[in-house]
Amino acid sequence: MGADVDMYAEARAALVQELVAAGVLEDPAWRAAFTEVPRHLFVPYYFVGGATGYERLWGEDPDPERRARWLRGVYEDTPLATRVRDGELISSSSQPSLMAKMLTELDVRGGHAVLEIGAGTGYNAALLAHRLGGELVTTVDLDPEITESARKHLEAAGYDPVVVTGDGARGCPARAPFDRIVATCALPSVPRDWLSQCRPGARILAPLATGLIALVVQDDAHAEGHFLHTPAYFVPLRGGSPGPAPRYAGGLPRRAMENDLFQFMLSLTAGSLDPYEALALWHRERRPERERFGVTVTGEGEWAWLDDPQGPYAWPLVGGATR
């Protein structure tokens, strides 16, 4: 048993060293959280995709070689598929370096109440609870199997954030108000219910259109902010309303279609801007980086924009918006 504990601790220390070297774990408090929270307790098994489907690796496999593969994967800087249903991925444990970036950008302070949308394995909630204390952290997920599993993992690791089964698009009014909201699932737009559950000055960080939008809440009907430089790919939010699918018109140049930044812009403007118009704008603006784009949320709707929310380049998100 002692040898196993040493093995887990060494693997965890190696991961932390890798994250520090990558420059994504500079904050000593987050470095301590990643050092002390045992990720292996949150992913007792996961799935590896292959040519014939998903292969399941788990920590109690009788084959020592497969157990070693499981442990290596747990403490690699890689996302892990943790729940597959009918061949479809429905839940995962995010890449640790991306988690570190998001937690840093969330900019939490002592006493902040945080709502996490998408409980996943419970690992991210444990990192937040390590920093803030369990009483200030709420994590919500639509799937009761996911929340029950997250509760068990958190209990095994010794952390006690509040785990709620519910529609994340509606937030968690019973636990409001919040100083920070972080989503670990991809959104078609920013649910307006979140704003009414935030204190003025609260920060919302959420995956949107293969990017990460960081919004500052002004009041219960207004929020605005820019995208971060970081790309982000997450399992979609379940519940709420789906967003429009991007229209991939034939004839667009292959070089553009294979460009990550153009795909981001195409996804962000889906349902509002013709793909050929998007391509012309992308070239005219010299292939803008993610951080030149932003989102404004009001009581009337929400829109994405390039450079300036009041400028000439703005597009309604789901439901449209007036300006």
Q: What is the pLDDT of residues 261-283, one digit of tens each?
A: 999 999 999 888 889 999 999 99
Residue-level pLDDT at 3:
56
Query: Does 157 have pLDDT greater than 90?
Result: yes
- Distances 116 to 8, 23, 45, 92, 200 between C-alpha atoms, Å: 27, 24, 23, 15, 18
The mean per-residue pLDDT over the stretch 158-181 comes to 97
Pick the CATH number of 2-226 from 3.90.180.10, 3.40.50.720, 1.25.40.10, 3.40.50.150: 3.40.50.150
Tell me which residue has tokens 């640790």. 96
Between 275 and 135, name the one with better pLDDT. Answer: 135
- Residue limits of CATH 3.40.50.150 in the chain: 2-226
| pLDDT score recorded for residue 240 | 52
Q: Is 91 a catalytic residue?
A: yes
In this prediction, residue 319 carries a pLDDT of 47
Higher pLDDT, 194 or 317: 194
SS3 state of residue 63:
coil
Give mean pLDDT, residues 287-313: 95
Query: Mean pLDDT over residues 61-85, rounded?
Result: 93
Q: Which of 195, 120, 116, 205 is nearest to 154 (CA)?
A: 120
Q: Provide the pairing of β-strand 198-208 with 211-219.
A: antiparallel
Q: Which amino acid is at 113?
A: A
Residue among 91, 149, 267, 272 flagged as catalytic: 91
Confidence of residue 321 (pLDDT cuts 50, 70, 90): very low
